Structure 1
Amino acid sequence: MIKPSSLQKGDRVAVIAPAGPPDREHLLQGQRVLEEMGLDVVIGKNVFNAEEDLAAAGEKRLADLHEAFSDPAIRGVFCANGGFGSAKIAPMIDYEKLQSNPKIFWGYSDITYLLNAIQQFSDLVTFHGPMVASDLNDEQITKETASSFAPLFTGESIIYDSHTSRLQTIAHGTGEGPLAGGNLTLLTSGLGTPYQVKSKGSILLIEEVAEPAFRVDLMLTHLKQAGVFDEVQGVVLGNFQADPDEHFKIRKVLQNFFAHARFPVVENFLFGHCQPNYGVPLGVEATLTTSPPQLLIDSGVQ
């Protein structure tokens, strides 16, 4: 996998919206957070485009992606928010262009589809992390979320243990492999396509939001029957945001589903639709242990 270069203060980064337009005020608030990190932020031409024609909207969102990767002055590409439609532009991406101009690509939720597609066809490390409008706005941001951008500058590896959140082990063991995954719905929708997550030998990250327990169980079963869990080396369960009653049911689903796994499974990592929302690189080597529970992730930049 190709690691993009680390960031330095003064570097220019682009904000794009492959999954739909963000709230304008929230985006401007998030832009200020990036600027406080010392970055020069440019906003994609089509970020606020609310084109009703989905095909036309996809072409404009794709144009922002290609322009950001083509511009040698831009060192990182950060997504504004989630939404829908990322899957539609995956077949149209010029993956050779991205591979020839490696840089940080950062997002989650619906962006999961692009994180996996870019990894597979550009051999580029991508980043599952908090987004500019939805996570860095004044209402949502926490200092922990903002601090998870720091490894992009320092190149440090990431150690995630119970000092970060109260991790709980479902299945014991030790696993090593590249970190992969993302949002459960998007992982499931990618099955059978050229953009299906590469789970063989991986530590698989799974998170979700606003899905009932029965749907979580159905999607996990779909992944299992498609062979996704056959050769994974571990599973990291992120946030599964839901109301308290439904969250209790979801935890039961997760515990029952993974109780007899042959690989380590740890839950309650703060990745995804939550605050704090910690950013992590995908495609780099990671080690998951359970005594005590800990996830060690190599640096995503060079």
Structure 2
Amino acid sequence: MRIRPKRLKKGDVIGVIAPSSPPDQENLKKALPFFEELGLQVRMGKSVHAKYGYLAGEDDERLADLHAMFEDPEISGVFCAGGGVGAARYADRIDYAMIQENPKVFWGYSDITFLHNTIGEYANLVTFHGPMLASDIGKEEFHERSARMFGQLFSPFELHYSEEVSPLTAIRPGTAEGDLVGGNLTIIQNGLGTKFDLDVKGKLLLIEDIGKEPADVDRTLNQLRMARKFEEAAGIIIGDFKGAEPKDPDESLSLAQVFDHYFGQLPIPVVKGFKIGHCEPHFSLPLGVKARLDAGDKTLTVLPGVE
């Protein structure tokens, strides 16, 4: 069982870092009042304002920020300003033992998937897949339901996703229970064949992505199929695939056809339509906790992520 971080409380200090690409500075500023309303104090990491090409500072800078936030006893949670690219560049140099000794809330998604998976595996820590400051919270379209999902950090409660949140489609029937793992599909693919290859055996696998046409999704799913990820998983949760419409529909399969091809014959429950990923609202989830997927009722139940 993974370590659940301590719940947040009003007055706590949280650290903000940019593990991947440079965040939009205006959106970052606009996100700060949200955390103030939650009763949290915000401390910015050095990487948040750094820029090195498409990276938020050099790898050593971003890694130092991550380490500093986990080591600092005054920091109760670490939140990512945005995603992009670059989190995996220093994953093999993270001090996972130190993180395990200093468990605290770690929150983000997209490119941050790589850190979720490595911290979960090597620091044995529950982390949180949810919207980030510059990428989501600081934008006008940030949804009220997305905002409410931060409540799970202050009080342990079971999360329940049903069609009251969004329409869901069961591709395959059945029910399954297991640890919830996964995140961005492309980032999961990036770990294949490495020491950070995502362990999905007996687990519920979450996938989501952005800006990938059906042919791109097809290519990635086929690689995961050949890596036996789908036959090892207990169930599959398909989140949002924003921007997946083909540029030329007459010359493309639909995303639904791609999903049916790879998941339509699996002997495990597979449900699509979850508002998890690059979308609004964004239903936030703890990763590494027990969850239950019921394709018949079209529900997902997830145990609390904090102590």
TM range (shorter): over 0.9
Find the counterpart in structure 1 of residue 211 from structure 2. Answer: 210
CA distance in 1, matches of 2:295, 2:11: 40
Deviations 1:170-209 (A, max 9, x none): 0000000000001010000100111111100100000010
**1:45 is matched by which residue type in structure 2?**
K
Q: Where do residues 163-182 of structure 1 align in structure 2 (5 Å cutoff)?
A: 163-182=164-183
Q: After TM superposition, which residue ranges in structure 1, 4 or more long, deviate above 3 angstroms?
A: 52-56, 243-248
Find the counterpart in structure 2 of residue 146 from structure 1. Answer: 147
Find the counterpart in structure 2 of residue 44 from structure 1. Answer: 45
TM-score (norm 1): 0.97
How far did residue 269 of structure 1 move? 0.4
2:7 aligned counterpart, secondary structure: coil
1:76 aligned counterpart, secondary structure: strand
Find the counterpart in structure 2 of residue 18 from structure 1. Answer: 19
Unaligned runs of 5+ in 2: none
> Is the 1:9–1:37 Cα contact (8 Å) retained in structure 2?
yes
Unaligned runs of 5+ in 1: none
Q: Where do residues 241-252 of structure 1 align in structure 2 (5 Å cutoff)?
A: 241-242=242-243, 244=245, 249-252=254-257
Q: Where do residues 84-95 of structure 1 align in structure 2 (5 Å cutoff)?
A: 84-95=85-96
**2:46 is matched by which residue type in structure 1?**
K
> Is the 1:21–1:48 Cα contact (8 Å) retained in structure 2?
yes
How far did residue 140 of structure 1 move? 2.9
Deviations 1:153-183 (A, max 9, x none): 1111100111111111100000000000010
1:154 aligned counterpart, secondary structure: coil
CA distance in 2, matches of 1:225, 1:259: 16
How far did residue 53 of structure 1 move? 9.4
2:170 aligned counterpart, secondary structure: strand
Find the counterpart in structure 2 of residue 224 from structure 1. Answer: 225
**1:65 is matched by which residue type in structure 2?**
L
Farther off after superposition, 146-155 or 252-261:
252-261
Alignment pair present for 1:104 and 2:105: yes
> Is the 2:213–2:245 Cα contact (8 Å) retained in structure 1?
no
CA distance in 2, matches of 1:109, 1:26: 17
> CA distance change for structure 1 residues 263 and 53 in 2, over 3 Å: closer, same or farther?
closer
Find the counterpart in structure 1 of residue 132 from structure 2. Answer: 131
Task: Provide the identity percentage.
Answer: 44
**1:34 is matched by which residue type in structure 2?**
F
Count residues in correspondence. 302
Q: 1:297 aligns with which of 294, 298, 302?
A: 302
2:58 aligned counterpart, secondary structure: helix
CA distance in 1, matches of 2:117, 2:183: 9
> Is the 2:23–2:82 Cα contact (8 Å) retained in structure 1?
yes
> Is the 2:177–2:290 Cα contact (8 Å) retained in structure 1?
yes
CA distance in 2, matches of 1:254, 1:168: 11
CA RMSD after TM alignment? 1.6
Alignment pair present for 1:278 and 2:283: yes
TM-score (norm 2): 0.95
Q: Where do residues 26-41 of structure 1 align in structure 2 (5 Å cutoff)?
A: 26-41=27-42
**1:263 is matched by which residue type in structure 2?**
I
Find the counterpart in structure 2 of residue 156 from structure 1. Answer: 157
> CA distance change for structure 1 residues 64 and 77 in 2, over 3 Å: closer, same or farther?
same
How far did residue 255 of structure 1 move? 2.2
CA distance in 1, matches of 2:160, 2:31: 26
> Is the 2:22–2:54 Cα contact (8 Å) retained in structure 1?
no
Deviations 1:112-138 (A, max 9, x none): 011001011100011111111111013
Find the counterpart in structure 1 of residue 239 from structure 2. Answer: 238
